Amino acid sequence: MPLTLYNTLGRKIEPFNPVHEGKVGFYGCGPTVYNYAHIGNLRAYVTHDILVRALRRFGYKVTHVMNVTDVGHLSGDDDTGDDKMLKSAEERGKSVMEIAAFYTEAFFNDIKLLGIQKPNIVCKATEHIGDIIALIKRIEAAGFTYSAGGNLYFDIAKFPYYGELSGRRFDEHKTLARAELDNNKRNQGDFVLWFTKSKFENQALTWDSPWGRGYPGWHIECSAMSMRYLGEQFDIHAGGIDHIQIHHTNETAQSEAATGRHPWVKYWVHNEFLVLDKEKMSKSTGSFITLKNLIDMGFDPLDYRCFLLGGHYRNQIKFSVDSLKSAQNTRKSLLSTLRAIAAKAGITTEETAGMETGKGNAHLESFNLALEDDLNTPRALSSLWALLKDNNIPPKDVLAAAFDMDKVLGLDLAGGTFKKDAALNSVDETEINTLITERAAAKAAKDFLRADEIRQSLKERGIILEDNPKGTSWRYGE
C-alpha cells in the first residue's frame, strides 16, 4: 500500500505522490515567539514530526522547513487586534528582539524534550525581509494588489481559487465586529502584505521597502520562506485546522498570484485541536498549559507525546491530567515489558544496530500499514503491543522490531529500556509473587482497599494481575 494522506485541498484521503520522485518538500508553520508554546501548539509539532519520520521511513528524502514568526503577527489572523510581539515586549519590559530570542530558545527546548527532530531549516521572518519584499513585488506586478491608507493589500476578488482550501468564501467565514472593520479594504477578506502606516505608533521593527518604511503582514512570510527553500511548488504544507480558513487560504492566494502556478502546495495536512477537559483540569494549571507545567506535575515530556500518539491527528483530543496519567502508565508498561524482554534475551545495552527484526516482521508490516493509512498512530501503537505480547517471536527479534517502530514513534524506547537510573526497575518475580500472596490475604480478610492498592501499584509498573480459578497470574501489559 502506498502512503495515503488526508488532503484538505479536495477533502479526501489520497495516495501520496511527490512533485519530484523520492524527495519531499515539507513546510510546517512554526511558532510566533511572543510566549511559551502551549500544549495545544505542541500537538501540531508532534504531528509534523510523525509525518516527517514516517516519510523518511518510507524512503523519502525530506527537507523539513519551519518558520519562526518574530514580526508581523497580529492577534487576529485577519489583520485585527494587537501586535503579538510588541504587546508581549511591552508587558514584560523587554525589547521585541529579547522576547523573540527568549521564547525561540524555550520553544526549541520544548520540542527537543518531546523527541521532535529539529527541522532541516529553521527560518526567522526578520532574517528574510528581502525575500518577502521580492515576493510582494511579484504579486504587485501580477496585478493582485492595491494601496490604501498607507498599507499594501492583496485583492482577493482577483484570485479565482480563493476559498478553495476552506471550501467557503471569505464572507461566509466570519462577521467582523464594526470596530474591526478596516475601511481601507475593498473586501474585508483582503489582507495586508505590507504595513507602512502601522496602527501601533511605537512599532519596534521596520524596514525600507518600495511601499515605504514598514513591516510585512503575517501570511506573506510563510509564502516567501517556503518558496525560498522548497521551490515554487512543493509537496506538503502543515498546520493546525485553525489556519485553514485565513492563514493558509491567504498563503495560497498570494503564492499562486505570484507564480501563476496552481496548485502551489500538493497536499495540505491539518491537525485537529487539543481541547481542555475543563472539569478534570485542576485550577492551578488554568487554561494555558505549557510543557513545563506538565514536567512540574511529575510527567516526562514523552508521556505527553505518548498521549498524543494515542489519538489520530485528525480527531480532536481532550486533555485531562487523568488521561495523561494513563498515557504515562502506558509508557511505563512499554518500558517495563521491554526491560523484561531484554533481560530474557540477555541484551544489556542499546547497541541493537545490525540486529535482525526476523520474526517481528509481520508486526512491522501491520505497523507500516497503520502509518500508511493516513498516519494512524493509535493502530501503530496497537501493532507495537501485539509485537510485545507475541510469545512466538524470539526476544531479540521483538526488541529489534520494537526499536525499529520507535524510529517513527519517537518514545525513546531503546534509551528508556536500558537507562541505568530509571525509576522502572526490571521486574523482580519474587517481589511480584509476594505481593500476589499479600493481595490474596488482604482479600480473604476483606481488606479490599489494600487488595486494590496492590493491583494498582503493579499496573503502574506495567504488570497486570489476572484472577482465575487456580489463583492469580500476572503478565505485562496496559
- Residues forming contacts to ligand AMP in the complex (CB under 6 A) are 29, 31-32, 40-41, 43-44, 239-240, 242-243, 271, 273-274
Site map 196..225 versus Zn ion, x via CB under 5 A: --------------------------x---
> Of 3, 5, 24, 29, which lies in the binding site for Zn ion, with binding defined by CB under 5 A?
29
Task: Specify the residue, 164 or 242, whose C-beta has the smaller distance to ligand AMP.
Answer: 242
31 binds, among Zn ion, ligand AMP, none (CB under 5 to 8 A by kind): ligand AMP
Residue 322 beta carbon to ligand AMP: minimum distance, rounded to whole angstroms: 19
- 3-class SS shares of the chain: helix, strand, coil, % to 5: 45, 15, 35
Least distance to ligand AMP from the beta carbon of 474, Å? 38
Binding partner at 163 among Zn ion, ligand AMP, none, C-beta below 5 to 8 Å by kind: none
Q: Which does 291 bind (CB under 5 to 8 A by kind): Zn ion, ligand AMP, none?
A: none
Selected range binding Zn ion among 29-37, 171-179, 306-314, 457-465, rule: CB under 5 A: 29-37
**Which of the choices Zn ion, ligand AMP, none does residue 217 contact, using the CB cut-off of 5 to 8 A by kind?**
none
> Which of 39, 338 has the CB closer to ligand AMP?
39
Which amino acid is located at 198 in the chain?
S
Closest CA to 403 of 341, 460, 463: 341
Class of residue 283 by CB neighbours under 10 A (exposed 0-12, middle 13-18, buried 19+): exposed
274, interface contact from ligand AMP, Zn ion, none, CB < 5-8 Å by kind: ligand AMP
Residue identified by cell 521511513 is 57
Binding at 222: pick from ligand AMP, Zn ion, none (beta carbon under 5-8 Å per type): Zn ion
Q: What are phi and psi of 30, to 5 degrees?
A: -95, -165
What's the rounded Cα separation, in Å, for the pair 290 and 218?
Answer: 24
- Binding site partner of 352, from ligand AMP, Zn ion, none, Cβ cut-off 5-8 A by kind: none
Shortest Cβ 73–Zn ion spacing (Å) = 10
Q: Which of 378, 411, 281, 294 is nearest to 39 (CA)?
A: 294
Cis peptide before 378 (omega within 30 of 0): no
And the C-alpha cell for 34? Answer: 511572543
Maximum C-alpha span of the chain: 86
Report the nearest approach of Zn ion to the CB of residue 254 (Å). 12
CA-CA distance, 71 to 88, in Å (whole number)?
A: 12
Least distance (Å) from Zn ion to the CB of residue 29?
Answer: 3
Nearer to ligand AMP, 214 or 239 (CB): 239
Q: Which of 185, 179, 180, 183 minimizes the C-alpha distance to 147?
A: 185
Give the containing element (helix H, strand E) for 251: helix 249-259
**Cβ density class 127-141: b for 16+ within 10 Å, e for less:** ebbebbbebbeebbe
Residues touching Zn ion, count (CB under 5 A): 2
298: exposed, middle or buried (C-beta count within 10 Å: 0-12, 13-18, 19+)?
A: exposed
* Minimum CB distance to ligand AMP smaller for 39 or for 401: 39
Q: Which is nearer to ligand AMP, 166 or 333 (CB)?
A: 166
| Residue of closest CB approach to ligand AMP | 240
Transcribe 281-329 into DSSP letters. S-GGG-S---HHHHHHTT--HHHHHHHHHTS-TTS-EEE-HHHHHHHHH
Neighbours of 8 (CB within 10 A): 23
Nearest distance from C-beta of residue 154 to ligand AMP, angstroms: 19
Which parts of 122-151 interact with Zn ion (CB under 5 A)?
none
H/E stretch holding 139 reads helix 129-141
Q: Does 246 bind Zn ion (CB under 5 A)?
A: no
- Which lies closer to ligand AMP via its Cβ, residue 215 or residue 418? 215
Smaller CB separation from Zn ion, 41 or 336? 41
At closest approach, how far in Å is the CB of 21 from Zn ion? 27
Q: Binding partner of residue 119 among Zn ion, ligand AMP, none, CB under 5 to 8 Å per kind? A: none
The residues of the shown chain that bind Zn ion, judged by CB under 5 A, are 29, 222
